[in-house]
Structure formats: structure tokens, C-alpha cells
Amino acid sequence: MDQNIQFHTKSIKKEQVSKNISNEYIKSLFLMPFNDLIYQAQQVHRSNFDANKVQLSTLLSIKTGGCSEDCAYCPQSARYNTDVENEKILALDKVISAAKAAKESGASRFCMGAAWRSPKQKDLDLVKEMIVEVKKLGLESCATLGMLNQDQTRQLKEVGLDYYNHNLDTSPEFYGDIISTRTYQDRLDTLQNVRDQGIHVCCGGIVGMGENLDERVGLLAELANLTPQPESVPINLLTQVEGTPLFGIDELDHFDFVKTIAAARILMPKSFVRLSAGREKMNEATQALAFLAGANSIFYGEELLTTENPTSEKDQELMKKLGITAI
């Protein structure tokens, strides 16, 4: 085995991950031969997880469209001309029905997403009811509602929210090319408010938005240096939607996506690394490589907020071929 690979693998196995993981080290992972990178990621993964188990989450859009933000990738922004309509928040009974269906299909976590900059109190009150009902079904609860202040996170903790998702999206250096309506610090502040209440953090980003390697490295550096590291790290491959500013850009090579998964696994050995958006464009071989690289969570169900996702039946077929079972 290469001496450098052996050293880094052993150090991570012993959970001696630096609190200041350098961009230079992260970039060196991307520049490794592909087989060596996957081998190292597999070692780290097997030291911390069952390599043949995957956590299944289902994501439901409880409030779709009409968002005031200008995220360049998002068809739910009111600023862009897409097919996504501005809809009212879902009724409680519809959310409960969707959660029951998710559990019956094998999901263990139910995530609720709303296209808000930040929730109003009347909307937060309804989301709190949803969380209570989801947990009654024996599912883990997760929400992504935009920016939260300290009082809002306290309220979510009181009703038992398990996870809060708030992605960094990209690196600080590239962020201004993607979003202007909220700052990077706004995102970090929400994450801190969530942590202060003892709610698990789900935080990742999107690749394939036109960022270069250094900017992709910068995203992983921000995620890996969060203290503590996120319990769940969704890695999204941009789903291009007509009408959004990023529609028509060059697509990211899938090998670069798999490398991102592998680097995330090495850098965040205890985190669940989730294959999120973009799987509908990946063939089975690409997804199998991503699992080999250390991904051990997927979004499960036919739709992710407003974009397509592989059906549960297709995912079950692939998992059967790979000998993977649900956690």
C-alpha cells in the first residue's frame, strides 16, 4: 500500500481528524488515482459503517414555489420562469398520508421541505404539528424550512425534530455566483442555532453548478471543518431545470461526482453521506460506484421537491443486485 494512503487511513480510523482540515489536503484526495481514492474511502467507510447497509429517507415538498430567494439552481424561485407554481402549504392529513406511504415503502426518515426564506409563525405552528404526527409513526423527522432564529429552533426542538437540513450549497468563494439574497454567514448562523438546540444537522451542497475543482474542494472544507461535523451530508448533483440561470451549463463528469463522494467519506468518517438530487441521470454503474465510494444514504421516492428521482422499485432492484439492505 502507498505510504501516504496508509497514513491518512489510519489517522482517520483513530478519529484524529483535524479541526482545521486544509484545502491542500482535500485537493490531494481529488488528484489521487481513482482506484487509490476509492480504496481509501472504502477502508474509512468499513471502519465506521456496515458497507452493505443504506439509510433511506423520503423528501416531501410541503410548500412548493414562490420563494423570494434567487438561488440560481432552484426552479422554486419566484424570480424565474419555470413550470413550478406557487402553492399553499399542504394540509396536515396529506402530509400524514405521505409519511405513512414512505414508511410502508421502507423509509426510516421523513423529510419535509418548504420554499421559504424563513418560516412565519403560523406556518411554523403547522409544521410542528406535522413533526409530531410523523414521529407518532415511528419515523425520524427532518425539516428544511429556510433560515431559522434561536426561538424557531427552540420550538422545533420542543416538538422533537430529529434533523434539520440547511445546505451550504457551495464554497464561500463561489457562493456569490449562485446566490445574492442571503449570505454564507446567514447559513452558518442557522446551523449554529440548530446545533445549540441539540438538533442533528443535515448539511451538504450541490456540485456541477459550474464550480472549478478548488471551489468544490472549498465546499468540502467548510463541511468537514464544522464542529461537530454534520450527522448527515447530502451531496447533490445539479438537476438542470429550464428557466433557471444554470440551465444549459456543462454537466459535471460522473467520475468527478464519485470522487466528491469518496472525499466526503474520508473527510467525514462518522457522517451519513447521502446520494441526493441528480440520481435520475445516473445509471446503475455510477450509483454502484458511489456506494463503493462510501455513500450510505439515499433519498427514496419518485420526486425530490420538484424534480424527478428514481422510483422506489428501481432502487429496490439496484439494492438487491448489490446485496445492499436498508438500515
pLDDT tens track for 83-102: 787 788 999 999 999 999 98
Average pLDDT for 109-129:
93
Residue scoring higher pLDDT (106 or 162)? 162
Three-state SS annotation for the chain: CCHHHHHHHHHHHCCCCCCCCCHHHHHHHHCCCHHHHHHHHHHHHHHHCCCCEEEEEEEEEEECCCECCCCCCCCCECCCCCCCCCCCCCCHHHHHHHHHHHHHHCCCEEEEEECCCCCCHHHHHHHHHHHHHHHHCCCEEEEECCCCCHHHHHHHHHCCCCEEECCCECCHHHHCCCCCCCCHHHHHHHHHHHHHCCCEEECCEEECCCCCHHHHHHHHHHHHCCCCCCCEEEEEECCCCCCCCCCCCCCCCHHHHHHHHHHHHHHCCCCEEEECCCHHHCCHHHHHHHHHCCCCEEECCCEECCEECCCHHHHHHHHHHHCCEEC
pLDDT at position 279: 85
Average pLDDT for 292-320:
78
Lookup: cell for 304: 425530490
pLDDT at position 7: 34
The residues pairing with 202 across neighbouring beta strands, listed in sequence order, are 165, 232
Q: State the catalytic residues.
A: 67, 71, 74, 111, 142, 202, 274
Long-range contacts of 117-122 (CB under 8 A, 24+ apart): 117/67, 117/68, 117/69, 117/146, 117/147, 117/181, 117/182, 118/145, 118/146, 118/147, 118/148, 118/149, 118/152, 119/145, 119/146, 119/148, 119/152
Q: Is the pLDDT of residue 15 over 80?
A: no
Average pLDDT for 95-117:
90
pLDDT tens track for 32-79: 999 999 999 999 999 999 999 999 888 899 998 878 888 999 988 888
Q: What is the percent of the chain where pLDDT is above 90? A: 73
